[in-house]
Amino acid sequence: MGLYGLYGLYGLYGSLWVSMVSMVSMVSMGLYGSLWSLWSLWVSMCLYGLYVFLWVSMVSMVSLYGLCVSLWSLPTGSLFVGDVNPKWWRPPLPRTPPDTLCFLQLDIDHYVGSPVPGMPGATHGPVPILRLFGVTAEGNSVCLHLHGFTPYFYVLAPQGVGVQHLEPLRQELDSALLRELRGNREGLSRAVLGLELCYKQSLLGYHGGQLSPFVRVLLALPRLVPPARRLLEQGLPWGDMGVHRAAPYESNVDFEIRFMVDSGLVGCSWVEVPSGQFHLRGPPPGVPPVSRCQLEADAAWGGLRCHPPEGQWMGLPPLRILSVDIECEGRKGIFPEPEQDAVIQVGCAVQRQGDPEPFLRLVLVLSSCAPIPGAAVICFQRERDLLQSWAEFVRILDPDIITGYNIQNFDLPYLLQRARVLKVDSFPFLGRIRLRRSELRDSTFQSRQLGRRENKVLSAEGRVVLDMLQVLLREHKLRSYTLNAVSFHFLQEQKEDVPHGIITDLQRGSAQSRRRLALYCLKDTILPLRLAQRLRVLLSHVELARVTGVALSTILCRGQQVRVVAQLLRQAMREDLLMPVVKVEGGEDYEGATVIEPLKGYYDVPIVTLDFCSLYPSIMMAHNLCYSTLLPPGGVQLGPTDYIRTPSGDLFVTSGVRRGLLPRVLEGLLEARSRVKQELAQEQDVFRRQVLHGRQMALKVSANSVYGFTGAQAGKLPCLEVSQCPIVPHSTLHNTHSAP
């Protein structure tokens, strides 16, 4: 309980002892005293009663304070006793458990755990378990554990392979994998769960419809995929067929993407588990919960119903969005360093999706601070208490999205590093998994437009980090990307007038000067929320996740390639096509697109500018350019009208022979965009108009990224024959330019 708690217990013991002695003394006086003594006895009892009452009250208050102070060292403790506003909590759960579990899936990950009784999959040893995080229509947070999904990939088998060759190969691969496991910390007894023979086609190249034998390799854990792929590539005995080196297919697909493709799940879609097919976690004898979510359940992955984001399933629940900004005490001329410079204020603004304004403004201040109308101000004398209280506030609030300006590379890393310096051990538990520490990892983003960017990524399971600075860097070309500049550009608003050089002086001044700094800090939390609203950032990214079929966090933290891969895999699965693993070995570059320089000058007549509608997608669809339509040299013999020859000499079969996979993906995207734009023109509801606008922009971006995917030489499936074709016919543009 801490020092104050011990004082309280000693005080309570003393008060009880004094009260007992006093009562014995008074009874003795009453038995042997006179009438006057009886009157004195009555007065003495009243005085002693008042004394005991005051003493016990004081002891109780000290004990309660000691208990509150002692809780700071616990990860689930709270320094907000007496300060927590009920409005900070999520809506309460219904009194009766839900019959069906329906929620919007916001994030997905996986972990290795123990089997749960009654769930599919292995009954002993470690198993992979997928985890969906989301929010119900009422605003309750959900964590759903999905069981029974097995990691797998394919290898191309030699001709003449039969089912009799699979078990010897499985045993060889299983033994080799178990030998490679360092210490086998998971206690695996079987690494390869099974091998399945199937007949499919490679996505790369036109094969005339001829199927080839493939083996599907099912493994116990996702981390076994890379070593299993390597062993099969190097060569293993296939029974009496001898040693064979097998080419891998789809072994570079993330486990979460693999599950989403196979189950039909797309990002930010509504999912449902019917009645009787899930088990809520709770107190014994049930499975204990491991998350901070209000609802936590287990289910078989095959029982998950994924609703397409259409009609009634287009909407969003009341997602909680937390905007954060910190102020640090610095030294003149030196940027704040977490090893030396204290965090002096943390500002927070919380808004529900769909609300026009935040429902909570909060600032945590080191030292005293004058009140701020419309905001909660909590003051601390110790920096470690401030940091611990902010972490506890995040756990109490349970936000779905954490936003701010440059929080990825400054605010969040600084808070974590500063808490580590001060040894606030319970600070880094910021995600929805109770015993999982939030950690920072380096991430590299690279594109032709933005170049190479190094970022920090915070792991906070179940919460999505949306940094407005990163969004603006990717999607808008501006002269300056400071918060002040972008706020004026988009909002005609600016930050509070507090020069950076006087922040330390304001902090070391009075309560009024710290109030000025607190207003500055709060404004820096409000502006990112207003920017996100004005630019429809959340809606557009949600729609992009729905269109491309990946999670929202994937949209925010990764590039275009994973989005195209997810779409390719979905389309390929319908046609029994498999995506090969291409080794990146450099290669030749190709000339970029032709840009016709304008004729500069003064014109006294209107200038007509023309633009191609979806130029690159249109060329790819018109000429049926795709991996699956590329005719390799010496391949299938076709008539002269069954293929086209590009200016670079590459051959592609026409759509009459086989409609390409990429053109089909592009047709679907562009047709969907056309339908959405027609619906947008007739829609009157403001929110639905915003959703539809975000969707049509997401469809446009997704279509344009398909072409870039084929030209990414360091990508997962580069194809120079496809990527160079749309930019080769310069004569087309020159003829257009010179036309009368």
* pLDDT for the residue numbered 433: 97
* pLDDT for the residue numbered 671: 86
Query: How many residues can be counted in the chain?
Result: 740
Name the burial class of residue 692, with classes exposed (0-12), middle (13-18) and buried (19+) by CB atoms within 10 angstroms of its CB: buried
Query: Are the beta carbons of 200 and 214 closer than 8 angstroms?
Result: yes
Q: How far apart are CA 210 and CA 176, in angstroms?
A: 33
pTM: 0.83
For helices 537-548 and 561-574, give the axis angle rounded to 10 degrees.
40
Ranges of the chain with pLDDT below 50: 1-43, 46, 48, 51-53, 55-79, 81-82, 590, 728-729, 731, 737, 739-740
Query: Are the beta carbons of 415 and 458 closer than 8 angstroms?
Result: no
What residue spans define the domains of the chain? 3-73, 99-318+549-579, 320-541, 602-740
With a CB cutoff of 8 Å and minimum separation 6, the contacts of 19 are 48, 52
CA distances from 613 to 517, 543, 587, 703 (A): 51, 22, 31, 12
* pLDDT for the residue numbered 722: 85
In what helix (H) or strand (E) does residue 738 lie, and over which residues does it extend? helix 730-738
Tokens 């003449």 identify what position?
A: 160
Pairing of strands 360-366, 376-380: parallel
Report the chain's mean pLDDT, rounded to a whole number.
Answer: 84
Tokens 């998971």 identify what position?
A: 186
The β-bridge partners of 156 are 214
Phi, psi dihedrals of residue 518, rounded to the nearest 5°? -65, -40
* pLDDT for the residue numbered 189: 87
Name which CATH class applies to 602-740.
alpha beta
* pLDDT for the residue numbered 114: 93
Q: How far apart are CA 725 and CA 740, in angstroms?
A: 27
* pLDDT for the residue numbered 85: 66
Q: How far apart are CA 606 and CA 170, in angstroms?
A: 73
Q: How is residue 109 written in tokens?
A: 């990950």
* pLDDT for the residue numbered 87: 73
- 99-318+549-579: what fold? OB fold (Dihydrolipoamide Acetyltransferase, E2P) (2.40.50)
184: left (phi over 0), alpha (psi -120 to 50) or beta: left
Give the count of alpha carbons within 13 A of 736, CB side only. 11
Give CATH for domain 320-541.
3.30.420.10
* pLDDT for the residue numbered 206: 92
Tokens 């390719």 identify what position?
A: 568
In what helix (H) or strand (E) does residue 578 lie, and over which residues does it extend? strand 577-578
